[in-house]
Chain A
Amino acid sequence: MLRTILHRAVSAAILIVIASVFSFMIIAAFPGNVAALIAEMRGGFVSHEVVAAVAEEYRLNDPLVLRYFHWLGEVLQGNLGSSLRTGESVAAAMAQRLEPTIVLVLGGSLVTLVMGVSLGFAGAMWPNGVIDQIIRAFAVFNVSLPKFFLAAMLIYIFGVQLQMLPTFGFRGPLSWILPCIAVGAVPGALLSRLIRVGLEEAMSKPYVITAKSKGFGRRRILFRDALPNIVPVFLTTFGMNIAFVTQSSLIIEPIFSWNGIGAYFVEAARFRDLPVLQSCLLMFSILFILVNLMVDLIVMMADPLQRRAKRA
């Protein structure tokens, strides 16, 4: 058990190092003359001297390995460089934009959880009933829908037609509702199918017949016997969902004009703001890897077959 935890932690650390190399390489591998690009973005007359000065400033002439370690040293000290466009510190800008993204990720995950669990259970409780059919159709509809389309529909229905909810900006809990639904609906639909199918499969196991033989009814067996058996699959999927929701923030934040990390990233990509892109990539990668590690460990803790290996 301890060995496995250690093993997972070490692989996560290695993955983070690899991710940092890739994030760093985005400058080295960027097409064209990076120094000229940076000089151009600063404005003014771009002479050979200016380009040479920029190359010197960004250590672009140093060997790649040296540059990587220099960059890594800065990152570890919390210095992510400064934006080419605005000149402000990337770390400070990210800290400022963290709140909307955290709201979106947590809120979206909450929507996923509530939707996935309630619909999944309803489907398993009354298999092939009317509710199950509706849920199935809804799930397929949701999964095959592009995220921006769902967001646009939500804005149109609740913002424009019904005028119930704000559709613009990050302004208090009411304005959180639509973006969180837009982000959480698709993984929620996926999760509901997974729970529904997982419960169905668990309900066909012999231990369910045993529970029945003790006189218990379907609802109780569903919760007491089937549910604990799908916890590992559920946790793994829900963990992946956090990655999915974070990724969705790139699309959803600009649609709802939220100034989050996702919007920051999209903006940086549009203006080729390399230090920002680099930092966002690194942060997203670390977040994914850590979430995955946590999910793996929680699954291990939750599964008695793994937690307590058979004693010899």
Chain B
Amino acid sequence: MIRTTHPAPPPLEVDGFSVTLHTPNVSVRPVDRVTYSVEAGEVLAVVGESGSGKTILNMAPLDLLPVGVDADMAGSVRFEGRDLLKMTASELEAVRGSGIGVVFQDPLSALNPVRKVGRQLTEGIERNLRLTPAQSESRAAELLALVGLPDPKSRMQQYPHELSGGQRQRVGIAMGISGEPRLLIADEPTTALDVTVQAQIVELLKDLQKRMGMAIVIITHDFGVVSGLADKVAVMYAGRLSELGSVRDVLVGPAHPYTRGLLQSVPSLTVPMDTKFVGLPGQPPNLAHRIDGCAFAPRCAEVRADCRGHRPGLLSVPRSSPGHLAACPVVVNQNI
């Protein structure tokens, strides 16, 4: 008998994934045929403007969209080889917490206002690590110390409104990692914080990722976070993936005109004082309307006539690493 050893499937494989949201009046498609994967121990940053579908892309497969949002999903999102979209409600329940942990964007509304922080933390630990209440208690204190909260024991006796924004975000991170998940999804974990705290949180996530060996998907629009934390970047525009590659390739040699525009519109402290700030002209398209060609065409400086005809697929960027892909035939062909 021949025994073949299969390599373990990667933590996350997103393949041709689309989400359509239905409201009484319109249907929008905030995620449109997106494909990427995250390897074990890898950190992927999903970047893009507000409304580019970053959050829905990551929350919809876990059934963590706000109540009342009716989402149709197509394609596949495999967690360790199992398609999340085909799971039953109880199978998905088993994945959440212990398999995939989540850190939410707004730490104040994500915590229950009338329950003590400690209880909100220990209940997940009890469930996902199958510990006794007493063990969970000390584990929770360890976690809070790990995320850099001083005096964890007394913090646990407090209510969310008694903590500062940074403290709440740390509690949120502790909650996300409390089940020791193999994959952590962090939705803009630093947006609500001031810059010094942001840097601490990035360091913390990096440290935790090394210690616990988990894969991370971090949703952000902050390139500081991207360069500080991520291995790989996925750039989203209008629900589509416009560029994918290693942080080095994408930040140093951005191929897609949207990525270039985005990077250019990051204010810098190293340019002369009177340099004119260049933003991206125009507005993202209305996702309620069908977009036939490249979604970025109306704002693009490199636009050609055939850009509006059909949607460009992801192409390998020439003279870059093999995994560097961009959805722009114009630029890719220029560089050959």
Which residues of A are at the interface with B, using a C-beta cutoff of 8 A? 203-217, 224-225, 228-229, 231, 303-305, 308, 310-311
Q: Which residue of A lies closest to B172 (CB)?
A: A210
A150 to chain B, nearest CB (A): 36
A311 and B162 contacting across the interface, CB-CB below 8 Å: yes
B66 and A214 contacting across the interface, CB-CB below 8 Å: no
Contact with A along B34-73 (1 / 0, CB 8 A): 0000000000000000000000000000111111100000
Q: Which chain B residues border A229 with CB–CB below 8 Å?
A: 112-114
A215 and B96 contacting across the interface, CB-CB below 8 Å: yes
A209 and B104 contacting across the interface, CB-CB below 8 Å: yes
Contact with A along B98-124 (1 / 0, CB 8 A): 100110101001111111100010011
Q: How far is the CA of A208 from the CA of B65 in the complex (A)?
A: 11
A213 and B96 contacting across the interface, CB-CB below 8 Å: yes
Q: Which chain B residues border A303 with CB–CB below 8 Å?
A: 114
B127 and A216 contacting across the interface, CB-CB below 8 Å: yes
B66 contact from A204, A211, A305, A311, Cβ within 8 A: A204
B109 and A213 contacting across the interface, CB-CB below 8 Å: no
A308 and B67 contacting across the interface, CB-CB below 8 Å: no
Q: Which chain A residues border B62 with CB–CB below 8 Å?
A: 213
Q: Which chain B residues border A207 with CB–CB below 8 Å?
A: 109-113
B68 and A204 contacting across the interface, CB-CB below 8 Å: yes
Tell yes or no: B128 within 8 A of A by CB: yes
Q: How far is the CA of A206 from the CA of B111 in the complex (A)?
A: 8
B109 and A205 contacting across the interface, CB-CB below 8 Å: yes
Q: How far is the CA of A304 from the CA of B159 in the complex (A)?
A: 7
B111 and A224 contacting across the interface, CB-CB below 8 Å: no
A212 contact from B64, B112, B114, Cβ within 8 A: B64
Q: Which chain A residues border B178 with CB–CB below 8 Å?
A: 214
Q: Which chain B residues border A206 with CB–CB below 8 Å?
A: 66, 104, 106, 109-110
A203 and B97 contacting across the interface, CB-CB below 8 Å: no
A30 to chain B, nearest CB (A): 50
B161 and A224 contacting across the interface, CB-CB below 8 Å: no
B159 to chain A, nearest CB (A): 5
B243 to chain A, nearest CB (A): 29
Q: Which residue of A lies closest to B104 (CB)?
A: A210
Tell yes or no: B93 within 8 A of A by CB: yes
Name B72-104 residues within 8 Å CB distance of A. 90, 93-98, 101-102, 104
B67 and A215 contacting across the interface, CB-CB below 8 Å: no
A228 and B97 contacting across the interface, CB-CB below 8 Å: no
Q: How far is the CA of A225 from the CA of B114 in the complex (A)?
A: 8
Q: Which chain A residues border B124 with CB–CB below 8 Å?
A: 214-215
Q: How far is the CA of A209 from the CA of B65 in the complex (A)?
A: 8
Which residues of B are at the interface with A, using a C-beta cutoff of 8 A? 62-68, 90, 93-98, 101-102, 104, 106, 109-116, 120, 123-124, 127-128, 159, 161-162, 175-176, 178-179
Q: How far is the CA of A203 from the CA of B161 in the complex (A)?
A: 20
A210 contact from B65, B90, B111, B128, Cβ within 8 A: B111
Q: Which residue of A lies closest to B116 (CB)?
A: A304
4 tightest Cβ-Cβ pairs between the two chains A and B: A215-B97, A214-B124, A213-B102, A204-B67
Q: How far is the CA of A212 from the CA of B96 in the complex (A)?
A: 8
A213 and B101 contacting across the interface, CB-CB below 8 Å: yes
Q: How far is the CA of A229 from the CA of B124 in the complex (A)?
A: 19
A225 and B115 contacting across the interface, CB-CB below 8 Å: yes
Q: Which chain A residues border B112 with CB–CB below 8 Å?
A: 207, 210-211, 225, 228-229
Q: Which chain B residues border A231 with CB–CB below 8 Å?
A: 114
> Which of B112, B113, B128 has the most chain A CB atoms inside 10 A of its CB?
B112
Q: Which residue of B lies closest to A228 (CB)?
A: B114
B115 and A214 contacting across the interface, CB-CB below 8 Å: no
A304 and B127 contacting across the interface, CB-CB below 8 Å: no
Q: How far is the CA of A204 from the CA of B109 in the complex (A)?
A: 11
* Beyond A213-B101, A216-B97, 8 extra complex contacts between A and B, CB < 8 Å: A210-B120, A212-B63, A212-B64, A213-B62, A213-B176, A216-B93, A225-B115, A305-B161
Q: Which chain B residues border A228 with CB–CB below 8 Å?
A: 112, 114-115
B228 to chain A, nearest CB (A): 25
Q: Which residue of A lies closest to B90 (CB)?
A: A217
> Which of A212, A224, A303 has the most chain B CB atoms inside 10 A of its CB?
A212
B66 and A209 contacting across the interface, CB-CB below 8 Å: yes
Q: Which chain A residues border B65 with CB–CB below 8 Å?
A: 209
> Which of A214, A305, A308 has the most chain B CB atoms inside 10 A of its CB?
A214
Q: Which chain B residues border A225 with CB–CB below 8 Å?
A: 112, 115
Q: How far is the CA of A231 from the CA of B159 in the complex (A)?
A: 16
A203 and B111 contacting across the interface, CB-CB below 8 Å: no
Q: Which chain A residues border B93 with CB–CB below 8 Å?
A: 215-217
Q: Which residue of A lies closest to B158 (CB)?
A: A308
Q: How far is the CA of A204 from the CA of B67 in the complex (A)?
A: 5
Q: Which chain B residues border A208 with CB–CB below 8 Å?
A: 67
Q: How far is the CA of A203 from the CA of B115 in the complex (A)?
A: 15
A213 and B97 contacting across the interface, CB-CB below 8 Å: yes
Q: Which chain A residues border B102 with CB–CB below 8 Å?
A: 210, 213
B227 to chain A, nearest CB (A): 27
**Can you pick out 12 interface pairs between chain A and chain B where the beta carbons lie within 8 Å of each other?**
A204-B67, A205-B109, A207-B109, A207-B110, A213-B62, A213-B104, A214-B96, A215-B179, A229-B113, A231-B114, A304-B116, A308-B162
B14 to chain A, nearest CB (A): 19
Q: Which residue of B lies closest to A303 (CB)?
A: B114
Q: Which residue of B lies closest to A205 (CB)?
A: B109
Query: Contacts A214-B179, A215-B128, A305-B114 given: A209-B162 contact, CB under 8 Å?
Result: no
Q: How far is the CA of A310 from the CA of B159 in the complex (A)?
A: 9
B206 to chain A, nearest CB (A): 22
Q: Which chain A residues border B95 with CB–CB below 8 Å?
A: 215
Q: Which chain A residues border B64 with CB–CB below 8 Å?
A: 209, 212-213
Q: How far is the CA of A211 from the CA of B93 in the complex (A)?
A: 11
Q: How far is the CA of A44 from the CA of B203 in the complex (A)?
A: 98
B106 and A215 contacting across the interface, CB-CB below 8 Å: no
B110 and A209 contacting across the interface, CB-CB below 8 Å: yes
A200 to chain B, nearest CB (A): 9
A210 and B110 contacting across the interface, CB-CB below 8 Å: yes
Q: How far is the CA of A311 from the CA of B154 in the complex (A)?
A: 14
